């Protein structure tokens, strides 16, 4: 059965003092950008190894959300919180089809990436860590990255991956999304998908809106990958196929993925714990990031 733990943040001097003490005691971390050749592209990531650790020590792979990057506030804060607890981390930039990509995706660029590309790239970085001697990897994904991490973990049984943390992971409901798409663009999604189905995957379409981008030029294969109905984009459907200990962290004030608390709290599986954080938004700012670090430590200790 699912174990649900509700956390009420303690905004007290004692908690703040404890965090400050942790900051004072934690040693500096060595952070380096590392790169990897994959599929004709250069991938990059921020590799953080706190002083006193070795590169082969247990490491957390961090995966960002939609069209974002590894220096966005949420990912950077998690990486810092882990460093304060002497935990190695590797915050990756998904390529989104761009060579050596940095920063948020530029909506003026043609979209040729796929949601499913991330599954292969996560695997490539797990392989990179194994080549560094790492034999204990925890995967952590935020938002869409949470779904992509869950997808990877559900379909790949790598002994090096020992735990999974999903932070505000994405949900998917084809009917609800189609209604939302038509309401925001005036175009039925079924028409978009029907048009795409008659074209070659590399052909281009111009959409009034794609993901967070207006007036976007998008490859047909990209449209079908993101907007076609695939139940695996609904994170709860993947959890029963993940063998590693898994913690799902959700905030009660998340208005980006509405219904997430209810959807996750209904999940069943002896290896799944759902941590509900009262007051946390989708981005887990400020001290809420400590609840994510707690979740990481809980799966690393199993």
Predicted local distance difference test score (pLDDT) of residue 264: 86
Q: Tokens at residue 37, please?
A: 């050749």
Indicate the average pLDDT of the chain.
90
> Residue 255: its pLDDT value, please?
94
**Mean pLDDT to the nearest integer, 94-113:** 97
8 burial via Cβ count (<10 Å: 0-12, 13-18, 19+):
exposed
pLDDT above 50 (res 272): yes
Report the alpha-carbon distance of residue 270 to residue 267 in Å, rounded. 10
Residue 27 pLDDT more than 70? no
Using DSSP bridges, classify how beta strands 204-210 and 161-167 pair: parallel, antiparallel or unpaired: unpaired
Torsion, Cα of 272, 278, 282, 285 (10° steps): -110
CB 193 within 8 A of CB 228: yes
What are the structure tokens assigned to 53, written together? Answer: 């650790």
Rg (CA), the chain: 19
Q: Name the band, by pLDDT with cuts 50, 70 and 90, for residue 24.
A: very low
Contact 184, 209 (CB under 8 A): yes
Share of the chain above pLDDT 90, in %: 85
The model's confidence at residue 269, banded by pLDDT at 50, 70 and 90, is: low
Q: How would residue 265 be classed by pLDDT, with cut points 50, 70 and 90?
A: confident
The predicted model gives 221-240 an average pLDDT of: 96
- Quote the pLDDT of residue 28: 58
Residue 187 tokens read as 């175009």
- Lowest mean pLDDT, pick from 117-126, 260-269, 271-280: 260-269
SS (H, E, C) 137-189: EEEEEECHHHHHHHHHHHHCCCCCEEEEEEECCCCCCHHHHHHHHHHHHCCCH
User: Is the confidence at residue 230, as pLDDT, over 90?
Assistant: yes
Tell me what pLDDT residue 266 has: 76
pTM: 0.90
**Predicted pLDDT at 196:** 96
Domains of the chain as residue ranges with CATH: 3-9+23-172+231-300 (3.40.50.1820), 173-229 (no CATH)
Residue 300 in this model has a pLDDT that exceeds 80: yes
Whole-angstrom distance, CA of residue 149 vs CA of residue 139: 7
Question: What angle do the packed helices 220-227 and 189-197 form, to 10 degrees?
Answer: 130
Name every residue whose Cβ is closer than 8 Å to that of residue 247 and which is 6 or more positions away in sequence. 163, 164, 165, 166, 272, 273, 274, 275, 295, 298, 299
């Amino acid at each position: 059965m699912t174990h649900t733990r509700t956390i009420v943040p303690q905004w007290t001097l004692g908690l703040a003092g404890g965090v400050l003490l942790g900051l004072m005691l934690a040693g500096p971390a060595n952070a380096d950008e590392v790169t990897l050749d994959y599929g004709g592209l250069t991938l990059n990531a921020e590799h953080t190894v706190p002083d006193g650790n070795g590169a082969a020590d247990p490491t957390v792979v961090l995966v960002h959300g939609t069209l974002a990057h590894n220096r966005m506030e949420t990912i950077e804060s998690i990486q810092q919180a882990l460093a304060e607890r002497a935990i190695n981390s590797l915050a990756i930039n998904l390529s989104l089809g761009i060579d050596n990509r940095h920063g948020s995706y530029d909506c003026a660029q043609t979209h040729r990436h796929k949601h499913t590309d991330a599954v292969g790239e996560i695997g490539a970085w797990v392989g990179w860590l194994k080549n560094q001697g790492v034999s204990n990897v925890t995967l952590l994904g935020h938002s869409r990255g949470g779904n992509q991490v869950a997808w990877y973990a559900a379909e790949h049984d790598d002994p090096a991956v020992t735990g999974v943390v999903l932070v505000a992971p994405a949900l998917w409901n084809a009917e609800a999304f189609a209604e939302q798409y038509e309401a925001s663009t005036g175009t039925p999604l079924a028409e978009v998908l029907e048009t795409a189905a008659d074209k070659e995957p590399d052909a281009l379409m111009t959409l009034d809106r794609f993901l967070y981008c207006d007036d976007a030029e998008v490859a047909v294969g990209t449209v079908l990958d993101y907007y076609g109905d695939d139940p695996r984009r609904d994170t709860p459907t993947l959890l029963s196929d993940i063998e590693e200990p898994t913690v799902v962290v959700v905030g009660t004030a998340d208005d980006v993925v509405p219904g997430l608390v209810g959807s996750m709290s209904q999940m069943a599986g002896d290896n799944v714990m759902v941590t509900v954080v009262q007051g946390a938004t989708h981005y887990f700012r400020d001290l809420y990031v400590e609840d994510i670090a707690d979740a990481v430590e809980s799966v690393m200790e199993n």
